Amino acid sequence: MKKIAVVNSKSFGKFFPEHIQRLQAFGEVDFHLFEPTIKGAQLAEALSDYQCIIASVTPTFDRTFFQNTPNLGLLCRHGLGVDNVDLSAATENQVLVTKVLGPIERQAVAEHAIALLMNELRKINKGQRLIKNDEWHLRSSCNSFELKHATVGVIGYGNIGSKVGQILHEGFGAEVLVYDPYKSAEDIHKAKGKKVSLPELLSEADVITLHCNLSDENQRMLSDAAFDQMKQHVLLINTARGELVDEAALIRALARKEISGYAADVFCQEPLDPTHPLLAFENVTLTPHIGAYTSESLAGMGDHVVTNIERFFAHLEPFGLVNERSWSV
Q: What is the set of active-site residues?
A: 241, 270, 289
Q: CA-CA distance, 155 to 139, in Å (whole number)?
A: 33
Q: CA-CA distance, 14 to 108, in Å (whole number)?
A: 18
What's the maximum distance between 2 C-alpha atoms anywhere in the chain? 70
For 47-52, which contacts have Cβ atoms below 8 Å and span 24 or more sequence positions? Answer: 47/5, 47/7, 47/72, 49/3, 50/3, 50/4, 50/5, 51/2, 51/3, 51/4, 51/27, 51/313, 52/2, 52/3, 52/4, 52/5, 52/27, 52/76, 52/309, 52/312, 52/313
Class of residue 33 by CB neighbours under 10 A (exposed 0-12, middle 13-18, buried 19+): exposed
Q: Judge whether 64 and 39 are in contact, CB under 8 Å.
A: yes
Q: CA-CA distance, 291 to 288, in Å (whole number)?
A: 9
